[in-house]
Structure 1
Amino acid sequence: MGQHVFVAQGLYRILVGACQVAKSRQQATIGADDIQESMRRRIPNFVPGRLAGAGPLADRPGGWAGFEVAATLRQARWEAFRSPGRRRPGDAIHWGDDVPAAIRRAIDLAPPARPAVGTGDLAAVLFTGYSALPGTGGIAWPKDDDRPLRPLTDYLLHWRYVTPDPQPQQKPPARWVSAYTSLTAGADVVLANLELEAIRQAVRLGRDRVTTADLVLAVAAFEDELAARRLRPVQAHRSLLTVRGLTSADAALAATTATDTDDPAVAGPARRRAWRTNPNNPPWSTAAAAAADQARTTAAAAGVPAGSAQLLSAALTVPDNAAGTLLRALHTDPSEVLRDAA
Structure 2
Amino acid sequence: MQKIATALLSYGMSGKVFHAPFLELHPGFELIGAWERSKKKIHEDYPLVKSYGTLDEVLADPEVELIIVNTPTETHFDYAKQALLAGKNVLVEKAFTTTAAEAEELRDLAIESKRKLTVFQNRRWDSDFKTVKDIFDKQILGSIVEAEIHFDRFNPNLSAKPHKEVKSPGSGVLKDLGPHIIDQALVLFGFPDSLFADVRSTRQNSVVDDWFDITLFYDTFRVRVKSSYFVREPLPSYILHGKKGSFLKSRGDVQEDDLKAGKKPMVTDWGKEPEFRSGVLHTEIEGLEVREHVPTLQGNYYHFFEELFQYVKKSGKNPVPADDAVKTMKIIEAAIESSETKTHITF
Query: Could you say whether these structures have the same fold, taking a TM-score greater than 0.5 normalized by the shorter chain as the test?
Result: no
More strand by share: 2
